[in-house]
Amino acid sequence: MKLKLLTLAAAIALAISPAAGAVMTDGGRVQGVRDGEITVYKAIPYAAPPVGALRWKPPQPALPWSGTRKADAFAPACMQSGVSMPGETPPRTSEDCLYLNIWTPAHGAHAHLPIIVWIHGGGFTNGFAGMPLYWGDRLARKGVIVVTFGYRLGALGFLALPALTAESPAHSSGNYGLQDQIAALRWVQKNISAFGGDPSRVTIAGQSAGGDCVSILMASPAARGLFARVIGESGGLFEPTNLATDYLLPQAEAEGQKYAATLGTTDLAQLRALPASDFVKPGANRVAHPVLEPIVMPRSPYEVFARGEQNDVPILVGSNEEEARSLVTDLAGVTAANFNDGIAKAWGALPPQLLAAYPHTTDAEAKQARLDLERDLRFGWDMWAWARLEAMKGKNSVHYYRFTHRPPFPADSVYANWGASHFAELWYVFDHLDQEPWHWTDADRQLADTISSYWVNFARSGDPNAPGLPSWPAFTATQPQTLLLDEPITVSNDVPDLKTLAVFDAVYTAARGAPFGETKQR
């Protein structure tokens, strides 16, 4: 065994050579690491460390350096609690975390390759740009540059306070993590050409909370011109804001004050002097969410899309068949008798018509109803709304999918019985089946190759289709065709789970006081 390990280490050393060419950025020269035909650049600073006086400030330009900076090790993740995926190894963390990573197949500055900028998920409380599942090596081998980056999370990324609003020239607070994302995209626009990229072909992509961020950036005037296409996976922010009032700045400020009081002070100087570790203690997650404020999100994404004022680009969006299987932690305890109480405990009192749309007269029905309701509530309706709004109000193409494939998750693993759950598509999107020693079939490998090719093709041209791949028709307002990602890949002429999604739609329309795709006149 020792000999085998030594042989493997030698092979890796030969494949990964430090002799990659240096690249000049606006901050200084960086030296990456060659991995076969791919060069990887890790931990390039895109903004100054948001520490001390820069805590809860918009990101500032990275400090320049002299000489050549070795870009051969990932930076720590931003301060966080827990992990973004069950079974994930907790990453090193630091408040000094505004760095990005680049995988490029280019061997010069004139390749003009498309770029995928990946925004990790994690509920705005955790996640890591250097997580192996997100490595861009396999996608890069298909002809695209992949960028991942860290952004501020939790209370350090999203705290709103009256004092922070008062000190801001824009009268804003919260959304510092979203401002980090915009800073990273601006860095890409300025520097990616040197790595062989075409800044006019940037695709922003994200999953879960990363998908929420992508939908916000599509609606944000501050992000205009920073990307040309969008991929959203199981995450979007389109619910009526009058049903989620904590997104409104006054309510977010009030909640921020309550949270700060638990730390012993609401004084900004004292809060900025506290150790960063104080902001990942229990209670921090309640202020970890986007806020409607003047800089990044002056209006809700729904309102912006309904008015046709979004950053209008081609979109590829969708969700998974069994999203909630990886998120409902006590499914065994769900019964017909406690179904309504369980929903109320998790989500508050929901309208009776929503509960009635998911039959739960038996214990078996109740378990399935809990999974289906949370699938639609947390992901399904938002992704359908996103696709419809762009199809109705935008001028660019929409490609809509449902991931229905069940990976071979081992029965003795943390992923047991997940099925086509939240997260399940990621191994296929990044073509990283080889990272897990599971019983992958030829069908799994073919599906991973096809899905990753769709994503790369879309980044290249705004169209996922190419010769040799199953045809993916566009989703339109009159023909809402959905690609079902399974083996074999098929096309549905309508939206899966339309009956229950329509019930959500009716509830949200009543809350908005305007039909879908319209906004109340003010």
Q: Which residues are catalytic?
A: 208, 323, 422
Place of tokens 């490609």: 399
HSE-up of residue 180 (Cα within 13 Å, Cβ side) = 35
CA 216/CA 304 separation, integer angstroms = 10
Residue 355 CB contacts under 8 Å (≥ 6 apart), including other chains: 339, 340, 343, 373
Helix (H, G, I), strand (E, B) or coil at 381: helix
Tokens of 296: 């990044």
CA 21/CA 32 separation, integer angstroms = 7
Phi and psi angles of residue 34, each rounded to the nearest 5 degrees, phi first:
-80, 130
- Cβ–Cβ under 8 Å, residues 334 and 370: yes
Residue closest to 151 by CA, chosen among 243, 218, 84, 239? 84
Dmax over Cα atoms in the chain, in whole Å?
73
HSE-up of residue 518 (Cα within 13 Å, Cβ side) = 8
- Cβ–Cβ under 8 Å, residues 458 and 203: yes
Helix (H, G, I), strand (E, B) or coil at 119: strand
